[in-house]
Chains A and B, each alone.
Chain A
Amino acid sequence: MRESWAIFRLLSALMLLLGVFHTPWGVARTAQALPQLPRHDQVASPEWKTRRAAFAQLIGLRPEAYAQGGVTYMPDLLRPLLAKDRDNSEARKLALIELLEIENKTVEREQQLSEAYVNYYGDVIAAVATVADPRSIDALVGAVSTGNMATGTLISFGNAAVEPVGKKLDSPDPLVRSSVARTLSQMLEKSQEISGTPASRAVIKRALVQAAKDNDPIVRRSAVDGLVTLGDAESIAIVDQLARNDPYQADFPGKEGKFLVREAAANALKRHER
């Protein structure tokens, strides 16, 4: 019986090591292990909460932990993960980019989005911005109206992003066209690579000239800074025309009767003169 007892203790210890019982070691092991990468059908699921769960796994969190807590600062989470889990970093990056493309379409399609969804969308943009992979250019262009997380990353890609951003000027949404014009203008101001490359400047000029003739005043207004930054005679003449003749008068609170495009063009020209 004593031998049986010894065998029993030995086998019990073996079972503990195997994690058959949930010992403190088993729990610790579970806590430290990265969640499995999601399957592709989860990433491409029609249910946004399934996609959110997949996103959580892609950034190394348990889905319920992400749903209940979110992420305060994405780079602090994602950069160490990609460095640590090198074997899967490529798969993670590509899945995150695909996820952003899916969410861009969701935002375009849905009538109303909850705060939970919109914050998740912001986190997907933050994750793709953190990855900073040039393969994400098209996905980030799809989020061009969401602010500087997306557009700042696009600008950081330099010349590679100029053409894809410029193409988005064909969007039927004036807010997107306006955001494109602003992003192209900022590219000239913030990227030496872009502002120093004649081919990129030509693409931007072509786009901003088109934007300055847009039917929507907010698009025309967004084009003037970039045209002034280009600084050539033709661009300045276009801004000068807008400052003198643009017909749009605002009719909303705080702006009633103001010629917003004229004002923006005049202010841009003043900056140019200084």
Chain B
Amino acid sequence: MNCERVIRAIAMMSVLGIIGLLPKNADAQCAVSYNDAYTDGTSVFAWANTSDYYNQSPCNPGWSNFTHYYNVSVSVQSPSGRIASDSGSSSAYNGGGSTGASTSLDISGEVGDFFTSTSASIACSVAGSIYYASASQAVTNCGDERTLIIQEYRQYPADFVPACSDFTQTRGSVYFPFPQLNTGDYSWALVRKPLIVPTSSMYGLDNWRDVYGASRIMNSAYRNPAHNYNLPGGPGAANSRHMHGDAADLRNQSGGVAEWNAMVGDAYSANADFIEPSNGPCMMACTHADWRYHDLPGGYQ
């Protein structure tokens, strides 16, 4: 197929597009790029790649004699301005190629946000630029294991990413000191205000315990994302309130209905926003209550 025929083909597709008869697969996603940035606590890594599917049905445009050029660049900048970068390029006759780039930067004791940015583009020898995408992401270094916990919020399914200052190593309530509220894998945890407010606030964990009127055993409160994902019964929810730090599972010590119902009634009295049903993940082994709509926004300070 020569250039003149390509022009006619493009012209025909344009006309079809104008009158709304363009085949649906012409609007398929035929080019894509992926990128990610993360840290292992000593370095920040960033990578990106891009590819197209123009040699595959239904993306094949039906003509040939063109070349796609793939370009990717990636960079990491530390809080003090140190930069590491990489780029990649390649080409493929009639499409179907790809390219990638990756780089890393030592943390070197710098605390704060490491900014990563990536860009990907595909150019066609016939049609010019046909794809461009860019992304940026901050990778936070807290200077301790909070860095890894925050990394988990990016790595595992989660509906938010906390800041270094949201974490605590001491926050506890009258009835439930910090070690009982931290049921995760680290020495830091997220503990929102409803888990520590005094019982006189008429809501929250201590109020729940107080209304019950006897000691209670904490089965689970804060869970870091990896812990939540690897629960014995299968992955926990991406928006589990245990990862937010405002949920508590108190043990049903008898395993019986009477104790479970009493705890639910008392959670209700403690103004819990959500109480899981008895066929939820706890079953009859514990009662889950959370205060997701109290002390917003934040509630970590």
Residues of A within 8 A of B (CB): 4, 7-8, 11-12, 14-15, 18-24, 27, 67-73, 107, 110-116, 118-123, 125-126, 145-149, 151, 174-175, 178-179, 182, 217-218, 221-222, 250-255, 260
A252 touches B256 (CB 8 A): yes
User: What total of A-B pairs shows CB separation below 8 Å?
Assistant: 187
Q: What residues of chain A lie closer than 8 Å to B235, measured between beta carbons? A: 115-116
How many whole Å from B298's CB to the nearest CB in chain A? 11
**Cα A15 to Cα B216 with chains together (Å):** 66
A123 contacts B239, C-beta separation under 8 Å:
yes
Can you name the residue of chain A whose Cβ is closest to the Cβ of B258?
Answer: A252
Contact with A along B223-260 (1 / 0, CB 8 A): 00000000101111111110010000000011010110
Residue of A nearest to B272 (CB): A147
Cross-chain contact B131 with A182 (CB below 8 angstroms): no
Describe A's contact surface by its main secondary structure: helix
Q: Measured between C-beta atoms, what is the minimum distance from B36 to chain A in Å?
A: 14
Q: In the bound complex, do residue B29 and residue A20 qualify as a contact, i.e. CB atoms below 8 Å apart?
A: no
A179 touches B237 (CB 8 A): no
What is the chain B residue whose CB lies nearest that of A186?
A: B268
- CB neighbours (8 Å) of A14 from chain B are 14, 17-18
Q: Known interface pairs A7-B7, A11-B10, A12-B10. Does A23 touch B131 (Cβ–Cβ under 8 Å)?
A: yes
Q: Residue of B at shortest CB range from A123?
A: B239
B253-301 residues with Cβ-Cβ distance < 8 A to A are 253-254, 256, 258-259, 261-262, 264-265, 267-269, 271-281, 283, 289, 292-293, 296-297
B157 touches A69 (CB 8 A): yes
Query: Are A175 and B264 also in contact (CB < 8 A) when A24-B132, A107-B277 are?
Result: yes
Contact B281 A114 (CB under 8 A): yes
The CA-CA distance from A23 to B234 in the complex, in Å, is 40
- Which of B130, B277, B281 has most A Cβ within 10 Å? B277
From B4, B6, B254, A252 is in contact (CB under 8 Å) with B254
Q: Which residues of B contact A116 (CB under 8 A)?
A: 235-238
* Contact between B280 and A118, CB atoms less than 8 A apart: yes
Which residues in A have their C-beta under 8 angstroms from that of B26? 20
14 residue pairs bridging A and B, Cβ less than 8 Å apart: A12-B10, A20-B14, A20-B17, A70-B237, A112-B283, A113-B277, A116-B238, A120-B237, A126-B293, A146-B276, A148-B272, A175-B261, A250-B258, A252-B253
Contacts of A118 in B (CB 8 A): 237, 276-277, 280-281
Residue of A nearest to B7 (CB): A8
The verdict on B93 contacting chain A, using a C-beta distance below 8 Å, is no
Q: A24-B133, A116-B237 are in contact. Are A146 and B274 (CB under 8 A)?
A: yes
Quick check: which of B81-89, B140-148, B207-215 contacts chain A, the rest being far away?
A: B207-215
Residue-wise interface mask of B (54-86) relative to A, using a CB-CB cutoff of 8 A (1 in contact, 0 not): 000000000000000000000000000000000
User: Which of B131, B273, B292 is the most central at the interface, judged by chain A CB atoms within 10 Å of its CB?
Assistant: B273
Residues of A contacting B216 in the complex (Cβ-Cβ under 8 angstroms): 254
Interface size in chain B (residues, C-beta < 8 A): 72
Q: Flag whether B92 is at the interface (Cβ < 8 A).
A: no
B289 surroundings in chain A (CB, below 8 A):
147
Structural contact, B128 and A12, CB atoms closer than 8 A: yes
Q: Contacts of A254 on B, CB cut-off 8 Å?
A: 212-216, 253
Are A147 and B7 in contact, CB atoms less than 8 angstroms apart? no
How many angstroms from the CA of A148 to the CA of B292 in the assembled complex?
10
Q: Is the CB of A147 within 8 A of B268?
A: yes
Bitwise, B158-174 to A at CB < 8 A (1) or not (0) is 11100000000000000
CA distance A251 to B256 in the complex (A): 10
A252 to chain B, nearest CB (A): 4
Kindly state the separation between the CA atoms of A252 and B214 in the bound complex, as whole angstroms. 11
What B residues does A19 contact at CB under 8 A? 27
Distance between Cα atoms of A141 and B182 in the complex (Å): 35
- The smallest beta-carbon distance between A135 and chain B, in angstroms, is 22
Given A145-B277, A147-B274: A218 and B132 within 8 A (CB)? Answer: no
Which of B7, B131, B244 is in CB contact (< 8 Å) with A11? B7
CB distance from A227 to the nearest CB of B (A): 16
8 Å CB contact of A107 from B213, B240, B279, B292 = B279
Q: How far is the CA of A172 from the CA of B135 in the complex (A)?
A: 55
Known A146-B274, A178-B265; further 15 A-B contacts with Cβ < 8 A: A11-B7, A14-B14, A20-B26, A112-B283, A114-B234, A115-B233, A118-B276, A119-B241, A125-B274, A126-B293, A148-B271, A179-B265, A179-B268, A252-B259, A253-B259
Contact call A175/B278, Cβ cutoff below 8 A: yes
In the complex, the answer to whether A69 meets B239 with C-beta atoms within 8 Å is yes
Residue of B nearest to A30 (CB): B29
B265 contacts A70, C-beta separation under 8 Å: no
When C-beta atoms are compared, the residue in chain B nearest to A109 turns out to be B279
Known interface pairs A20-B26, A125-B274. Does A12 touch B127 (Cβ–Cβ under 8 Å)?
yes
